[in-house]
Every structure is written in C-alpha cells, then in structure tokens.
Amino acid sequence: MPELAVVAISAPAASNDLRALVNGVSAQLLSHGLAVAPHVTAHLLNQLNGDPATVIAVAQQLTPEQRTGQRMLPQPLPLVPLVEELFASLDLAATNFRSLLLAALCTDDRLDLVLAADDSNADEVLTGVLAQHLTITSGRFAFADDRFALWIEATASQADRAHAHELLGRVHQQLGEELQANWHIARGAIERTPAVVEILLSAARRETDSGQVERGFRLAAEAADHAVGAQADAARLVAGSAALGAGCMHEAADWLGSVFPTGAADYPTGALAPLLIAELGAHGVMPVLDPAEYRPRTDDAQQWQQWARAAGVAAIFCAERREISAMRGWLAELRDADARADAGGEIRDCAVSLCWMLSGEAESKHSAPAGAFSRCMVEALRAALDGDIDRGLQFIARARTRLDDEVDPLLAGLEHSPVVDAYLAVTEVLLLFWRGDITTALERFAAAAVQAPVGIAFAGLGPALAQRLDIAVLGTPEPLTLSLVHTLPVGNRIDGLISAGLEAYLAGETAVAAMQATLWHDRGAPEHPLALPGLDEVGPVTERSHVEPPDLAAARGLRRRIRLLPESGWRRECAEIAAAARELQSPFARARVEAMLGSVNITRGDTRAGTRFLRTACQLFDDAGADAWLAATRERLRRAHTSGEVAGHIETAPLAIIDHIDPFDASRTAWEPLLTERELEVAMRVVQGATNREIADELDVSVRTVEVHAGRVFSKLGVRKRVELTLLAHRTARHF
C-alpha cells in the first residue's frame, strides 16, 4: 500500500516466529544461490504477505547490492510471474481498478481518504469489490494480500497512477495536510515541480532525525527529483544521510558523492563525513587517503567540525581493523580539527575513547565522551572490560530508552537510525556472550538481525558472534547466520577457520579441528580486537593480546595451562587450575575449563576425578544454554561409561558424533603442545608398533637417538613403557 509509509516488520508479529520464518526462507534462498541479508529478507516477507516463494522470486530480480542491504529496495517491488499468475484471472472494471489503485497509492490507511478521492460512499465500498480485497476495521483499511497491492500498482499505466496521485493530492489539500498533498502532487507530476521541494525536504529531515530513515529517504529522493541548484544538493545530502542511517552504504555513497566535492554553498562540507562513512561501509576497507586533500581551506568552525567527524570515523574504522599506525594518523588529524572547530573535545573524546579501547592500549581510559549514543556504548564496553558486565548492559539499556535526546557529536543526525541500533545490538550481544549467557545472546542477536544491518557494526563482529553462538547452541551455523556472513562487504569478510574448527571439535572431529586451528595460526591468527572465545582445546598454543574482560582472560590462561601441563606435579596443577576456575563468573568459560580438566584426568588415568569435572562441565554448559557443548561433554561421559572406566549408570543425551576416532590423530592433536616435533614423530611411530630400529631407519637417525627421544616422551607423558603409551593413545582418543 504505502509508498511513503514507514515500513515496520509487523507480520509475523512475534519475534521468534519471524526469526524462524526468516531462517527458513534464508535456507531456501541460499539453496537458490541467493545471499540475502536477514533484515532484507524480513522486509520482503513483510511486503509480500509472508510468502516464501514470492520472496525468492522477487529476490532473484533484485541487484546484489539490494539483496545485501547496501541499496534501498525498489518501490514498488518488481512484479514477478508468481504474482501476475495469482491475480491474472481477475476481471476488474475500470472504476474498481481505480478504487484499488487509490488504496494502493494512499500514504495513509484512513478509508475516508480513498472514499473522498474516489467520490464514493462507505456502503458502496462495503458491498463492492474493495471489500473483497481490503480488510476494513474502524474506518481503517489494509490489503488482505499485500501482493495484490503490488500487482495493482505495477499493472497500472503511468497515466492511471498520475491521475490517482492527483485525486489523492486534492483530498489532502482540502484537509489541510500539506505534506501528503505535496507528496502526491510530486508523484503525479509529469514535469519538475519546484514548489513541492521545501515541504518534502523539511519533512525528510524530520523523519531522518527521528530514525524513520526509509521514509526520510523517499521524501528526500522525491524532493531531489523536483529541485534545482542548491536545493537539489540539499535534498541529495538528506537522501544520502538517510540511506546511510539505514545501512545502505552504496546508495548513500552515490547520493553523497553527487554533492561532494562539486555541490553548491556549504553542502560539500556537510557531505564529507557521511560520504567517508558510506565509502568505508560499502567496501569494508580503509582507502589510502591524504588528509591534506580534504582538509578545510578556511577558518570556518562548522567546516572544521565536519572534518573532525570525518577524521574521527576514519580513526575508528582503522581501529576496528587493527590498523594502528593509520589510526594514530587520523587521531592526530582529529585533535587538530576538534581544536579548530572549537568543539571543546566533544568530537575528539568520542573517537579517541573508542579507538584506544579497540586497540587495547593504555589510553583506553580517556575522558568520558559526550553524546548519548557514544557515551553509552563506550562506557558499556569500558565497564565490561573492567569486569562489570552487568553495568555495561545497563548502559546499553539506557541508550535504548532514549530518555535523553542529545545530539551525538560524532554521528550527529544518526542517533536513532538502524545503523546505531546495529552497533548497540552487537555490543549488547557481545557483553552477554562474555557473561556466558549464551541463550539470551543468541535470542537477542537473532531479533536484531531481522531488524537492523548488524553486519556493519565493528567490521563484521556481528556475523562472527552469530557463528560462535549458533555453534555453541546448535553445533552449526543457521541459514540466517550464513546469509549474514555471505552478505558482508568484501573488506569485512571474517575469518571462518576457528568457527569451522569449533564445529568440527563439537562433532568429535578433533583432528579436523586441530587442522583448522593450525591454519588460522599460520595465517597470523586473525581476529577482531574485541575478543571472542576461540578454540583453545586443540591446535597450536598461542599467546596474543586480547581486548576482553578479566574473566575471559583468566579462563583463556587456564585453558593454556591445561594444554601445557607437565607430567611432574600435574595433579597439583590440576587442583590449582580447578580452584582458579571456581572464581570465574561466566558459566560458559568455566565449563570449558572443567571439561578440559575432565579429559586430562581421564587420559592420565584418574577416571574418578575426570568424571567429576565432566559432570560439573555438563551442569555449567546447561546453565549457559550451550547445548552443543553440553551434548559433546555428555558424549565424553558416555564413552567413559561404555569403555568400562566409569562405574554406574550415567544419564546422557545422544549426540550425532563420529563413533570411531583415529587414536593416532587424536593423540597427535593432544600431545603436540607437550612434545617437540621430533619427539612427536617418535611417539606416533611407537604407538603404531614400530621398533626402535624401524623408527631410526624411517627418520634417518641412530637407534640411540630414538631411545633418547622415546625416553623424553615417556617422561613428559607420564608412562614407563611402550604398552602404556599405546594405552594412553587409546584413552586420549576416547576422551580428548
């Protein structure tokens, strides 16, 4: 129905139902080779009566940038054969068709507007063709099938549409509703009509500032079609800013690029900061820019303020990507611009706080920034990194309430936009993940993903989060998450090796998981500055700086200690690690430590202690809602039980897991951190039954050298002879 109305995702109404529907449709879209951002899929479902087949057909007609959410969807949506066939048999009289077209083009759902424009009365409507296709309640109407509204508008001729807009415009004029009247006048005009521009443009600014960015974009784009000179630049600037707020970065870059640098008056200066954001968001990479080319050439404070915002955004983008040298350069530019703008540090502090926090360096406790969004997000992260995650979540909740309607100095005009909502949502989900509340984190992320462009925030942190959450709960990423990953800008492509490794690890494919972790390590261990729990159970033992709460840092350190447990005194170290684990607040982080302790104890012969640790891990994984980790840990208990190493009946849940693990692969994975490369080669050959002479011949060394290496292996792994090493290998395969 409404070209101008705000598009809200209201059907299906319940967020869980919507998530399930988007997830199912995403799976079908991916099977057709179509990657569609979840919030775009939800939008299409809302406009196409929730029909998956029509959504797929329409998605096939969209451009790749429209499917990824980088451009606004066309209005109306493309008319596809499925919809044409659905209503092809209808034989509508001209008057009935006109009535329905008026309803389809009306910007309001008030029935009296359509009646007045059609010069008809309510009785005629309630007994006529409109009643067959409209749901009418308390003087308001809606199409019974939104696809019918699409069909009506798409099959109408240009002359029919122009006449319908003219009739609706007259009605709104008679009612004194200037905005709606001018909208219809503009839409029905055959030639440029400058008289409508000012009203449309003023409304576009209001809508964009209030967060109704799609409505603001439609108004500004229409104003731009009718404007000339400086007014046209003003309309393009608003349209570009609205598209930016919606996360449509390519769309925004086109509109803003038409203003900068050739626009009239001061509009190019106003376009620079949002244009830079749009270009960075569209491509996901920080271009090589010489600030001197864009720096203002005057002493005008407003121009320096705009330049300060551009420099601040550039610095944050560099920090998100760990380009620290470039970040420092842009921060220097920002400090100078903030001073020249006489901004009192407002713009500077927002960007500097976030940059140093993302870089993990000492200046992360810079003075508190101004601006509701900036302050709440920065303080939320700061509180979490100081160990108070609950307080961090309170800051996010405050930002969501919007009780204080402050202008954000860094992102002025975008305070209530979907882009800001995306950053807030990803920050909240990250904090919930850090806290170990896996179920809530997954639910919040799924709800946000169908509402906002969550892939934009923090250089693709959202999709990485979604993968880890899905794997922790389900064992594999959902189609909704895969769609999100596939629709990221190229420069924001996240490294999926650790996620793939976690998926393999929980499926019992330990050697595959170790291979993925090793490949990740060989590639330089790429990860986002805001750390996500990785795959510490297998693969190379690495020590890297992370931006994470102390709880997660402690858990990561404990997992590293377990991997490197020496034979001498390992029982004492296990006790120390267990005591330290009890101090961890996150049930998920502690559960992973307890599970590792369980496996180590069982493989080293203490099955009673190992079982106790594994049972504790099961309870903690259950508390966190990490169902896939819970199932994998229960499977370890089942293996212990069926192998006769644990007495008594253990209640377990079944897990689709590989039942026969190669003991050689599992042992290699488990022993790699403890042995040198040559010791590991000797150990694996001993387990496979080779004699010292055979090993010496294979490795081209002396028998004495093999004996020395074998003795070191026995000492490090706590065995006395070959048969014990072989038994250890088989225990490791069952419980690692």
Q: What share of the chain is helix, strand, coil (3-state, %, to 5)?
A: 65, 0, 30
Are the C-beta atoms of residues 420 and 247 closer than 8 Å to each other? no
Spatial distance between the Cα atoms of 235 and 735, rounded to a whole number of angstroms: 65
Spatial distance between the Cα atoms of 217 and 252, rounded to a whole number of angstroms: 10
**Average pLDDT value for residue range 331-355:** 90
Spatial distance between the Cα atoms of 454 and 7, rounded to a whole number of angstroms: 18
Q: How many C-beta neighbours within 10 Å does residue 24 have?
A: 15
Out of 115-119, 152-156, 335-339, which region has the weakest mean confidence (pLDDT)? 115-119
Q: What pairs with residue 143 in β-bridges?
A: 134
Phi, psi for 684 (deg, rounded to 5): -65, -35
Q: What pairs with residue 142 in β-bridges?
A: 135
> Which residues, 6 or more positions from 440, have their beta carbon under 8 angstroms from its beta carbon?
432, 625
pLDDT at 49: 92
Nearest to 679 by CA among 725, 626, 629: 725
Q: What is the pLDDT of residues 667-699, one digit of tens each?
A: 777 777 778 878 888 888 888 888 888 888 888
CATH class for the region spanning 663-735:
mainly alpha
pLDDT at 306: 87
Residue 589 tokens, joined = 């982080």
> Which residues, 6 or more positions from 381, have their beta carbon under 8 angstroms from its beta carbon?
354, 357, 392, 427, 530
Are the C-beta atoms of residues 488 and 460 closer than 8 Å to each other? yes
Q: How many CA atoms lie within 13 A of 435 on its CB side?
A: 20
Instruction: Give the type of residue at 288.
Output: V
pLDDT exceeds 60 at position 652 = no
Spatial distance between the Cα atoms of 560 and 106, rounded to a whole number of angstroms: 64
pLDDT at 54: 96
Residue 286 tokens, joined = 């920080």
Spatial distance between the Cα atoms of 83 and 148, rounded to a whole number of angstroms: 8
Residue with tokens 């307080």: 391
Spatial distance between the Cα atoms of 604 and 57, rounded to a whole number of angstroms: 58
pLDDT exceeds 60 at position 659 = no
pLDDT at 733: 66
pLDDT at 647: 38
Average pLDDT, the chain: 87
pLDDT at 650: 35
pLDDT at 153: 94
Spatial distance between the Cα atoms of 257 and 236, rounded to a whole number of angstroms: 9
What is the greatest pairwise CA distance in the chain? 105
pLDDT exceeds 50 at position 189 = yes
pLDDT at 662: 56
Pick 566 or 170 by higher pLDDT.
170
Spatial distance between the Cα atoms of 428 and 451, rounded to a whole number of angstroms: 15
Instruction: Give the type of residue at 193.
Output: T
**112-to-4, 109, 121, 130, 569 alpha-carbon distances in Å:** 18, 9, 9, 13, 85
Are the C-beta atoms of residues 70 and 250 closer than 8 Å to each other? yes
Q: In which element (H, E) is residue 673 found?
A: none
C-beta pairs of 335-342 under 8 Å, 24+ apart in sequence? 337/295, 337/304, 337/305, 337/307, 337/308, 337/311, 338/308, 340/296, 340/299, 340/301, 340/304, 341/301, 341/302, 341/304, 341/305, 341/307, 341/308, 342/301
Spatial distance between the Cα atoms of 248 and 422, rounded to a whole number of angstroms: 13
Q: What percentage of the chain exceeds 70 in pLDDT?
A: 90
- Please report, for the chain, the start and end positions of each structural domain, with discontinuous segments joined by +: 86-188, 286-416, 550-642, 663-735
Nearest to 184 by CA among 104, 279, 238: 104
Residue 497 tokens, joined = 């090796």
Spatial distance between the Cα atoms of 37 and 449, rounded to a whole number of angstroms: 8
Nearest to 511 by CA among 663, 730, 689: 663
Q: What is the pLDDT of residues 431-462, one digit of tens each?
A: 999 999 999 999 999 999 999 999 988 888 99
pLDDT exceeds 50 at position 14 = no
Q: What percentage of the chain exceeds 90 in pLDDT?
A: 51
Spatial distance between the Cα atoms of 329 and 129, rounded to a whole number of angstroms: 66
Q: What is the pLDDT of residues 516-562, one digit of tens each?
A: 998 898 888 888 889 898 898 988 887 777 889 999 999 999 999 99
Q: How many CA atoms lie within 13 A of 274 on its CB side?
A: 35
Residue with tokens 């093999």: 706
**DSSP states of 237-267 as a string?**
HHHHHHHHHTT-HHHHHHHHHTTTTT-STTH
Confidence of residue 646 (pLDDT cuts 50, 70, 90): very low
Residue 661 tokens, joined = 């693990």
> Which residues, 6 or more positions from 355, have their beta carbon under 8 angstroms from its beta carbon?
315, 316, 318, 319, 327, 331
